[in-house]
Amino acid sequence: MQLRFPFLVALMGLAPQASAADAAKPTVVHLEGLVVMTPSPTQPPPPGLRLRTMVRPADRLWIGVDVPKHVPLEIGDLSLELLDPKPGGGWVATYRERFEPCYARGASANCKALVKLFDANKQEVASTSLNEFLSRASHLEVQDVRYVEEGGAGTLYFNEACQSYSRGAGGKCSSLVALDPVAKKVLWRTEPLASNNAFLVVGKYIVSAYGFTGEAASIRVVRRRDGKVMERRPLASTNYEMVADGDALSVEMYQRVGRANFRMLGFDGDAPRLVALPTTPPDPNEKPKPYDPPLQTKGARSLSRGIF
């Protein structure tokens, strides 16, 4: 076959061709308060945070699972911070207000928090502003959210944690709250100073802890049905990461105290107990891990308003 337009062939040969390496590179989208990489570099958050999040604090990079297209990344001044699987299919999306607009309302203003539920058919079935159910207008922040569904009815559990020292709120902060997200009704609220940072749902119970610099730290078992505290144990220092593996529970503690360990007994019955085990000392040779992937922005802002 004779080529009638050889100059076009030459131009095509000069056109840049996408390499396999380029095709494998993730796409990066910079939003107002979030950096989203596709595919997502899914990984645990760095240690030592004061709240549960799926956003890397240093550069606001999303490190949770790939976000489905029907789940918004941002809603007004709020950015996606948590995306948990919903029982029966779907997603539980938690949004937190960005620092700047929140701080503009006052140094102790409660930052907005919103939870949206999506079913397996990608339909939004509930949207709940948690601020409407906080016990006071200042000195609180939502540090963790969990959703449980049983018999077709769902319950949101969240902590209205102290932003900093509890004395700033007169000691009236860090309660654990149970909420019906459809009826928009608070089912129960524990006593103050019951929960900050992350907590865990373990069967019929919730394991939560509270601590802060210069304040007594403790861990407790809360009955999900009515918010009754079933068990309470002291901690040597402020609680950070909390991990359950079978009936084993470990809590990382602040100031390099080490890791508190417990055995969870009776959680399948009416008398749950936390049996203290020897504390795991900190590793003196542990070093910070390098950022992988590298930082996506030059600036960084801490998730914490106060200090531990």
Report residue 20's pLDDT band, with 50, 70 and 90 as the boundaries: low
Query: What DSSP line would sit under 87-103, residue for residue?
Result: TTSSEEEEEEE-HHHHH
CA–CA separation, 80 and 116 (whole Å): 10
Q: What is the DSSP letter of 303?
A: S
pLDDT tens-digit series, residues 226-240: 999 999 999 999 999
Residue 129 has pLDDT above 50, yes or no: yes
Instruction: Give the mean model confidence (pLDDT) for residues 52-59.
Output: 96
Per cent of the chain over pLDDT 70 is 88
Instruction: Give the mean model confidence (pLDDT) for residues 41-69.
Output: 95
Supply angle C-alpha 82, 86, 88, rounded to 5: 170
Instruction: Give the mean model confidence (pLDDT) for residues 73-84.
Output: 98
The pLDDT, as a whole number, for residue 152 is: 83
pLDDT tens-digit series, residues 255-275: 788 999 999 999 999 999 999
The pLDDT, as a whole number, for residue 302 is: 37
Determine which of 43-52, 172-181, 190-199 has the lowest per-residue pLDDT on average: 43-52
The pLDDT, as a whole number, for residue 301 is: 41
The pLDDT, as a whole number, for residue 19 is: 58
Place of tokens 């959703």: 147
Per cent of the chain over pLDDT 90 is 81
Buried/exposed 231-261: b ≥16 CB within 10 Å, e otherwise:
beeebebbbbbbeeeeeebbbbbbeebbbbe
Residue 298 has pLDDT above 60, yes or no: no
The pLDDT, as a whole number, for residue 17 is: 57
Determine which of 9-23, 29-43, 192-206 has the lowest per-residue pLDDT on average: 9-23
pLDDT tens-digit series, residues 85-103: 999 999 999 999 999 999 9
